[in-house]
């Protein structure tokens, strides 16, 4: 298998998930993927040269969880750029609180790029 960024990312996520759900480590049965809910948030500033960085990362994360872990698509909510506002994130957490049951698992994934601001709000170089 040729190792590229997409394959490496999938391998890392798969390994982490396997380690977290191994019954030998947790002394619990493996986690049923249908009981895992994901809120995946990606927000890149509009002035970033490569516009799709956060969208691509969130899409790759979500598709890896769906394809490699078997998490149902309906259990994954993605908020990208214009949807990743304060109101959008609050709605995302509300979706989780209304959807998740006591024994379900939740993954919150955030991918973002920002900048430093001076105390007066101006951008630092």
The pLDDT value recorded for residue 52 is 79
- Note the pTM of the prediction, 2 decimals: 0.71
Residue 120 has pLDDT above 70, yes or no: no
How far is it, in rounded angstroms, from Cα 25 to Cα 42? Answer: 31
CB-CB contact of 66 with 76 (8 Å) = yes
pLDDT tens-digit series, residues 13-53: 666 665 555 545 556 777 899 999 999 999 887 766 666 78
Q: What sections of 1-125 are H helices per DSSP?
A: 5-21, 23-26, 53-69, 86-99
CB-CB contact of 109 with 58 (8 Å) = yes
- Structure token digits, residue 119: 């105390």
How far is it, in rounded angstroms, from Cα 76 to Cα 45? Answer: 23
């Amino acid at each position: 298998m040729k190792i590229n960024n997409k394959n490496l990312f999938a391998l890392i996520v798969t390994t982490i998930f396997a380690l977290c759900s191994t019954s030998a480590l947790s002394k619990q049965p493996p986690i049923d993927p249908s009981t895992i809910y994901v809120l995946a948030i990606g927000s890149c500033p509009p002035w970033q040269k490569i516009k799709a960085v956060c969208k691509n990362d969130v899409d790759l994360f979500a598709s890896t969880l769906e394809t490699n872990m078997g998490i149902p698509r309906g259990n994954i909510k993605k908020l990208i750029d214009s949807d990743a506002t304060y109101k959008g994130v609050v709605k995302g957490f509300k979706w989780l609180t209304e959807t998740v049951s006591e024994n379900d698992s939740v993954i919150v994934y955030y991918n973002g790029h920002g900048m430093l601001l001076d105390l007066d709000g101006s951008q630092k170089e």
